[in-house]
Amino acid sequence: MLAKRIIPCLDVTEGRVVKGIRYRDFRDAGDPVEQAAEYDRQGADELVFLDITASVDNRATMLDVVARTAEQVFIPLTVGGGIRTIDDIRQTLKAGADKVSIMTAGILNPDLINEGAERFGSQCIVVAIDAKRVPRPDRDDSHLGPAPDADIQWRVWTHGGTRPTEVDALEWAVEAEQRGAGELLVTSMDADGTKAGYDIELLRRISESVNIPVIASGGAGNVEHMYQALTDGKCDAVLAASIFHFKETTVGEIKKELASRGVPVRM
């Protein structure tokens, strides 16, 4: 039986891991290569490196981190942040990444998804969707639980969650699949960094709309949240950063707990 995956995410800038709250207030959280190796020992199923600055200077540093990690960690590595061109994809894969995560460039130039999938295979094209609920004054969304009505909407944001677009997140998910995305990495900007739980309704609606794996991101504070994303949210994998970086729990502990609740995980 296919296992549900637990994926630690390392937000990297200038060769260091950092973690912010709602895309701000970054705190230093260590050396990426060391941390990748540690997560591998704990039983992480994959790793994601997110280049949060994504400047040209930072790219070389990032590729070096990827190359050094790939020398010693033999699980799938995904790199995201600032992937804009076919050449960016090629270089990142060449450095040792197995997949690239495309976000802003996918919205600005959707053909990049098609071209990337054609040249390198869908398996290495992850489309990342940063989604934010469209506020409605008549409704309290603060709990992020199941929506009381069906007309709830999410818009896609770009540029590391700083710029809103008019793109509907569910429609974009379907289009990304059609264009050749192999997986979707869905982040709720409302929930990210809060550790109050994923936006389960967003995850469930996207999972039900596509036939490719969906990775839940943004908001994990404990194993219960992950359990919800993998069951009610119908996701194939969960991604988390804070709860691992500050050693609140380990991948192994989370897997043990999920397994005891009947979720198939790789032990």
Partner 1 sequence: MIALVDYGMGNLGSVDKALRHIGCRVQVSSEPAVLAEAGAIVLPGVGAFDDCMRHLHGHGLVEPLKQAIAAGKPFLGICLGLQVLFESSEEGGLAGLGVVKGRVVRFKHGLKVPQIGWNQITIERPAPHLEGIADGAWVYFVHSYYVVPKDESIIATTTEYGCRFASSIWRGNLFACQFHPEKSQAVGLKLLENFARFSGEL
Under rule CB under 8 A, residue 75 binds partner 1? yes
H/E element, 167: strand 163-168
Under rule CB under 8 A, residue 96 binds partner 1? yes
Tokens of 193: 């960094």
Amino acid at 169: A
Choice between 27 and 94, CB closer to partner 1: 94
Under rule CB under 8 A, residue 76 binds partner 1? yes
- Judge whether 11 counts as a catalytic residue: yes
Choice between 120 and 198, CB closer to partner 1: 120
Decide: 61 and 52 in contact? Cβ < 8 Å.
no
Window 124-143: residues binding partner 1 (CB under 8 A)? 124
- Judge whether 192 counts as a catalytic residue: no
Stretch that binds partner 1, among 23-31, 73-81, 108-116, 127-135 (CB under 8 A): 73-81
Decide: 254 and 223 in contact? Cβ < 8 Å.
yes
Residue 83, exposed/middle/buried by CB under 10 A (0-12, 13-18, 19+)? buried
Find how far residue 81's CA is from the centre of its chain: 11
Window 219-238: residues binding partner 1 (CB under 8 A)? 236-237
Residue 57 CB contacts under 8 Å (≥ 6 apart), including other chains:
none
Q: How many residues bind partner 1 (CB under 8 A)?
A: 32
Residue numbers at the binding site for partner 1 (CB under 8 A): 1-5, 40, 45, 70-72, 74-76, 93-96, 98, 120-124, 182-183, 211-213, 236-237, 266-267
